[in-house]
Chain A
């Protein structure tokens, strides 16, 4: 009785209210290094227009997101990646 009862409530609770938290997959894991001279790598964190994607989409942690954003800005300065991508139809 004592064993079965909490299990039942737990399962009910999960079904009704608790959402299954989806874990974001972090594309660069726990790496703390971002190379600003690698346009292909940085291209993964920008959209088609060349805008920096938000953290909720990139899945990076706050530290990495800051570093990536900075790296993208350096790379833009060196004309490795565009500020605004041209729309060639």
Chain B
């Protein structure tokens, strides 16, 4: 018996890859979820960002944020898949509470927080540099 829950997973893909290859990796993850009885609700590519600290000697990463619905027992399988995928530097899968989802939606519409942080990206790196 297993429950169906909403999850969100954030993945950092190696930014050295071409855009097409990144898309291929994302497609691989999404199809993997779907094959295991999941349902993709949202895929959001944040794009290339500077990492706050180097991971495997890489300073940049391509962030992808996926919201999906799946049975609880698919998560360990997905986690294992993400670990084995060597183009993925980091990943984090968490249950997405509806409240947090509403909060984010409100925030975007409310004060127009840029979710694709092209301008914010530079600021973020600047902040780190200053600190």
- Interface residues of A, Cβ cutoff 8 Å to B: 32-33, 35, 37-40, 43, 48, 50, 74, 76-88
Contacts and interface: CB of A to CB of B under 8 A. Distances in A.
B131 A74 contact: no
Interface string B89-118: 010101001011001100100000100000
A78 B131 contact: no
14 contacts: A32-B99, A38-B113, A78-B90, A79-B12, A79-B53, A79-B55, A79-B61, A79-B90, A82-B52, A82-B131, A83-B52, A85-B131, A86-B131, A87-B131
A74 B124 contact: no
Contacts of B107: 35
Contacts of A48: 131
B30 interface: no
Interface centre among B55, B63, B103, B131 (most CB of A within 10 A): B131
Interface of B: 10, 12, 51-53, 55, 61, 63, 65, 90, 92, 94, 97, 99-100, 103-104, 107, 113, 120, 124, 127-131
* Chain A, interface SS category: loop
Contacts of A79: 12, 51-53, 55, 61, 90
Nearest to B103: A33
Contacts of B131: 48, 50, 82, 85-88
Given A37-B65, A76-B52, A86 B128 contact: yes
A46 to B, nearest CB: 10
Contact of A33 (B10, B53, B61, B100): B100
A82 B53 contact: yes
Contact of A78 (B92, B100, B113, B127): B92
Nearest to B102: A33
Contacts of B129: 88
Given A32-B99, A35-B100, 20 more contacts: A33-B97, A33-B99, A37-B65, A50-B131, A74-B94, A76-B52, A78-B10, A78-B12, A78-B63, A78-B90, A79-B90, A81-B52, A83-B52, A83-B53, A85-B128, A85-B131, A87-B131, A88-B129, A88-B130, A88-B131
